[in-house]
Structure 1
Amino acid sequence: MHLKNKFDVGKFAILAEMQPPKGVNVSAMVNSATRVGKAVDAFLVPEMGNAVMRMSALGGAMILQSKGLETIMQVNARDRNRIALQADLLAAYACGIINVMAVSGEDPSLGDHHQTKAVNDIDLLTLLKTVATLQTGKDMAGSDLSGAPDFLVGARVNARATGEALDQELAIMEAKKEAGVDFFIAPPVFDSEAFAAFMEKVDIKQNRILPTVMLLKSVGMARYLNRHLNVTVSQELIKRMMHAPDKAIESLTIASETINALKEAGFAGVLISAMGWEDKLQKLMDMV
């Protein structure tokens, strides 16, 4: 069942992030994805996340699609102008990639090619409108296309926002919906209470919100998330990690508990971020 069909019938969707390699050896990516292919509804292929040079999302998604795996290709305007973006989107759909996710992309200075100049020919909202325009059978210049794509479109939403920031985020979310967004990926969460303010104003039964479930690899990672990334990891979870005889198994147990809690809360699904532990996804899927 395609991801769109699963959303349409209201079934809980499980997505998994699958980083393309920094190189041409795709065996680790392919092996990790194929092992859990029956349990995961689609694989989100990032477009050089954190501005680190890797194989493109288009290339990674095409490789996974060739193995019979459904993908979500991430696309951003940081590295390409409007002509190249449209060309990649058309190529993606022609190769069987029917899901895309538009993101802003991190500043290149944060990545591994510090002298890179960002393109940013168009902004995120314009990129979303571009996807919608292509689906009408026209390009940005108004020229007719020979066949139009029909994408399921995703974007991010900051469900951790509160106060005035939340009001601004909700306005942005509404603009994204008007531009054609079908589902939203929310930030990493270990307790749905972190989204309490958001959930008071957004009906998650009427909006497809998929929180990110991140594998907590160590106590140090938990503390870093708390201090620097505004991701709340409770002291209870930190103590569990500290006293666990097998940190990896405890991490997977926490992730499975989080997934089940989010499903119970009524979210449309989750995005699993393995953080380099893609080889442990099969074990996690067995626990969910």
Structure 2
Amino acid sequence: MKLKDALKKKKFVVTSEVQSPIDREPEDLVRSLASVSGRVDGVSLSEVELEGFVGDTIRTCELLNKSQLEPIYQTTTRDKNRLQLQNDLVEAHNSGIDNLLVFTEDYRITGDSLQEMMFFHVDAGKLKSVLEHMREGRTVEGDSLKSKADFLLGSGVESSWGKSVPDLEMKEMEEMTKLGTSYFLTTPIFDVDRFEKFLKQTQTFGVPVIAEVMILRTVGMARFLNRHLKSGMVPDWIIQKLAREPDKQKASIEIFTDIVTGLKDLCQGVHIITIGGEEKLKLYLDSAKLK
């Protein structure tokens, strides 16, 4: 079943995210996902650039399609002008990719600010212009496309606010809803109770929410998130469990399962971040009884 159809039928969807490969061939990455074929509704490919090398996102998406794994082309708008964004989306469309996941900015630090509002309006404006033209079968310059492009659009949102969702966040979600967003994808969820409060504040948009769940395998990974992304993102109970358990993989799977179990009655799916552990994804799906 297509991701689009699963969302329409209000199924609890399961998607996963991998990085476009730089240090190995795309074929190797796709083979590592063979064990979860038929168990995930989509696999998103994040763009990666390292020391001048760029992962081949489009090629990997094409291989996923051939392997019966539905690709989700993931991109950001912050560092691209309108033509760069359009070129990427046209290439994705011509390669048979139907799903688009867009982040208009990186993790927000403060909440409401004039600078953030300006960034969002610029980013959303670029995206709106490109998508509206592509839906009509043409580019912003007026050139015809091979066919009309009507991506299933997902939008990233910051979800760590609990019940105190900033006005700017609500405005962004409203604008993305008007743009045709089919689902919102959250930032990583570790505190299910806080996430439930966020959902109560944002349910007014009537758009499905998919919760991002990150697989943490070590204490170091958890502390890195708290130190470099957002202080307190990973709760103490998770850090303590990873620290005291001698079997780190067992602890990691149990943490993942606890979080997913708490999410099943709250939202319409989970988006799993493997951080390089694609070959073990099946173990986590089995434990959490996903698909």
Interval of TM-score (by shorter of Structure 1 and Structure 2): 0.7 to 0.9
Q: Distance in 1 between matches of 2:144 and 2:270?
A: 37
Unaligned runs of 5+ in 1: 108-119
Aligned partner letter, 1:175: E
Matched ranges for 1:68-87 at <5 A: 68-77=68-77, 81-87=81-87
Structure 1 distance, partners of 2:263, 2:204, is 11
Q: Does 1:221 align with 2:230?
A: no
Does residue 148 (structure 1) correspond to residue 141 (structure 2)? The answer is no
Provide the residue aligned with 2:59 in structure 1.
59
Contact 1:154 1:183 in 2 (8 A): yes
Instruction: State how far apart, in whole Å, the 1-side matches of 2:269 and 2:30 are.
Output: 23
Tell me which residue corresponds to 1:128: 127
What letter corresponds to residue 218 of structure 1 in structure 2? T
Which residue matches 2:113?
Answer: none
Distance 1:64 1:7 in 2: 20
- CA drift of 1:36 comes to 0.9
Question: CA offset at residue 32 of structure 1?
Answer: 2.0
Give the Cα–Cα distance (whole angstroms) in 2 for the partners of residues 58 and 105 of structure 1. 21
Equivalent position amino acid for 1:101 in 2: L
Once residues 208 and 253 of structure 1 are traced to their aligned partners in structure 2, the CA distance between those partners, rounded to angstroms, is 26
Amino acid at match of 1:128: L
| In structure 2, C-alpha distance between the alignment counterparts of 1:256 and 1:52, rounded to whole Å | 38
Task: Give the match for residue 264 of structure 1.
Answer: 265
CA RMSD of aligned residues (A): 2.8
Q: Answer yes or no: is the 8 Å Cα contact 2:257–2:284 preserved in 1.
A: yes
Any conservation in 2 of the 1:128–1:180 contact (CA below 8 Å)? no
Cα deviation, residue 204, structure 1: 7.8
Contact 1:49 1:105 in 2 (8 A): no
Q: Distance in 1 between matches of 2:247 and 2:208?
A: 35
Deviation at 1:219, TM superposition (A): 1.8
Q: Would you say the 8 A contact 1:12–1:268 is kept in 2?
A: yes
Q: Which residue of 1 aligns with 2:250?
A: 249
Separation in 2 of the partners of 1:255 and 1:191? Answer: 12
The count of aligned residue pairs is 274
Displacement, 1:276? 1.6
Alpha carbons of structure 1 residues 159 and 256: separation in structure 2 relative to 1, 3 Å: same
Contact 1:241 1:247 in 2 (8 A): yes
> Does 2:170 correspond to 1:170?
yes
Worse-superposed segment, 229-238 or 57-66? 229-238
Q: Partner of 1:115 in structure 2? A: none
- TM-score, normalising length: structure 1: 0.84
Code of the aligned partner of 1:150: D
Percent of pairs with identical residues: 30
C-alpha distance in structure 2 between counterparts of 1:50 and 1:138, whole Å = 33
